[in-house]
Amino acid sequence: MSAATTGSKAVFEAAALEATSLAAGGPAATVLKTPAAPLFSRPRPNRPAYMDEGRLLRRGLIAASFLFVFVAIILPLAAVLSRAFGHGWGPFWAAATDLFTVRALKLTLLTTVSAVAANTLFGLAAAWALTRFNFRGQGLLITLIDLPFAVSPVIAGLIFILTFGRLGWLHPLLTAWDVKIVFATPGLVLATIFVTLPFVARELIPVLAARGADEEQAAALMGAGFFRVFFEVTLPHIRWALLYSVILCAARAMGEFGAVSVVSGHLRGKTITLPLHIEILYNEHKITEPFAVAAILVFSSLLILLARNIVETVAKKERYLDVR
C-alpha cells in the first residue's frame, strides 16, 4: 500500500512520507478490526508458572515490536515535525497560511466531506440491503465493495481518466453538457469516493448481521415505518460502529494521494489537495514548507486518532446494554 500511496514521481524522503500517509490513511488492514477489540486494554491473563518458559521470547517480541514502531513511525514523524519547526514558528506559520496551502486545505476538506458523506449513505444502504434482504448478486456486491482495497489507487485514478478524460467514452457527453470532471473538483471527489468506498459498508455489515432483524421486525409489526425503525431501533445499535467507520474513512480520504494525483492535473490553487501540495513543495526544493504542510496533515491525523479512541471507549462503555 505504501508504494501506491506514496507515489513514485519524485525521490522522496521515503520514510518521512510513509509515516505521514500511515498516520493519515492507516493501512487497510486495521480498518477491519471492530471497535470492540482494542489492542491494549485486554485483561492480563493470569498464567501458571509453567507457561512462563517463553518469558524471554515474549519480552523479545514486545521489545522488537516497540523498536519497529519507533523506527518506522515515531522517528520519521519526529523528522517531519523537526523540519517543520526547525526554523522556528515564523516560517512554519508563513507556510501554513500561504494562499496555496489554505486553498489546498479547503479543497482537501471539501473532497473529504463529500466522499465521506457519499460513502456513509452508500455504506448504510449496502449494509442494510446485504443483511436484511436476500437477492441475486449478493456475493457479487460484497466482492465489488472490497474491490477498492484490492486495486491500487493509481489504477483507480486511471479508471476515471479513461472514463471521463479527453479520450474517455463519456467525454463527448460531458463536453456537450459542459461538465468538467477530470482535472476538476468532481474528479477529486470521485477518486476519493472510490478509494474509501469499503470503509463504512465493511464495518457495518458484521454488526448488522450479528444483531439479526428481530428487533426491526418487532418494531415493524407494531406499526413503525421505515424511518422510525431505522432511527429508533437500528441506528442506536450501529451508531458507534458507524462513527468509527466514518472517522477512518475521513482519515483515509484526507491522506489520499495516488488516485487524486492522477485525476488532479496539478492545477495549482485549483485541483491541489494537501498531499499533492506537499509533493509540489518538496519538488521545488523548499526547505520548511513541505514539512510544515505535512505537519498540518500529521496533526489532523492525530486528532482523528484521538476521536477514534474516544469513540472506542464510549462504545465499550455502552456495551453493557447488549443483551446476552
- Asked if residues 255 and 297 have their Cβ atoms less than 8 Å apart, the reply is yes
Query: What is the spatial distance between Cα 160 and Cα 193, in angstroms, rounded to a whole number?
Result: 12
Nearer to other proteins, 124 or 161 (CB): 124
Q: Does 221 bind other proteins (CB under 8 A)?
A: yes
| Residue of 117, 185, 215, 313 that binds other proteins (CB under 8 A) | 215
Q: How many binding residues for other proteins (CB under 8 A)?
A: 20
| Residue of 236, 267, 268, 317 that binds other proteins (CB under 8 A) | 236
Task: Map grid coordinates 442506536 to a residue.
Answer: 236
Q: Does 135 bind other proteins (CB under 8 A)?
A: no
| Residue of 29, 214, 227, 285 that binds other proteins (CB under 8 A) | 214
Q: Does 139 bind other proteins (CB under 8 A)?
A: no
Query: What is the spatial distance between Cα 190 and Cα 88, in angstroms, rounded to a whole number?
Result: 38
Length of the chain in terms of residues written: 324
Q: 3-state class of 197 per DSSP? A: coil
Q: Cβ 122 to other proteins, closest distance in Å?
A: 25
Nearer to other proteins, 63 or 218 (CB): 218
Q: Does 15 bind other proteins (CB under 8 A)?
A: no
Q: Does 218 bind other proteins (CB under 8 A)?
A: yes
| Closest CA relative to residue 21, chosen from 248, 284, 302, 298 | 298
Which pairs count as long-range contacts for 90-95, CB under 8 Å and 24+ apart, including other chains? 91/288, 91/292, 92/288, 92/292, 92/295, 95/281, 95/286, 95/288, 95/289, 95/292, 95/293
Determine how many CB atoms are found less than 10 A away from the CB of residue 290.
26
Q: Does 223 bind other proteins (CB under 8 A)?
A: yes
Q: Does 314 bind other proteins (CB under 8 A)?
A: no
| Residue of 55, 58, 87, 228 that binds other proteins (CB under 8 A) | 228
Q: Cβ 217 to other proteins, closest distance in Å?
A: 6
Q: Cβ 41 to other proteins, closest distance in Å?
A: 21
* Phi, psi (rounded to 5 degrees) for 184: -150, 175
Nearer to other proteins, 40 or 227 (CB): 227
Q: Does 99 bind other proteins (CB under 8 A)?
A: no
Q: Does 232 bind other proteins (CB under 8 A)?
A: yes
DSSP 136-165: TTHHHHHHHHHHHHHS-HHHHHHHHHHHHS
Q: Does 323 bind other proteins (CB under 8 A)?
A: yes
Q: Does 233 bind other proteins (CB under 8 A)?
A: yes
Rg (CA), the chain: 22
Which residues of the chain form contacts with other proteins (CB under 8 A)?
A: 214-215, 217-225, 228, 232-233, 236-237, 320-323
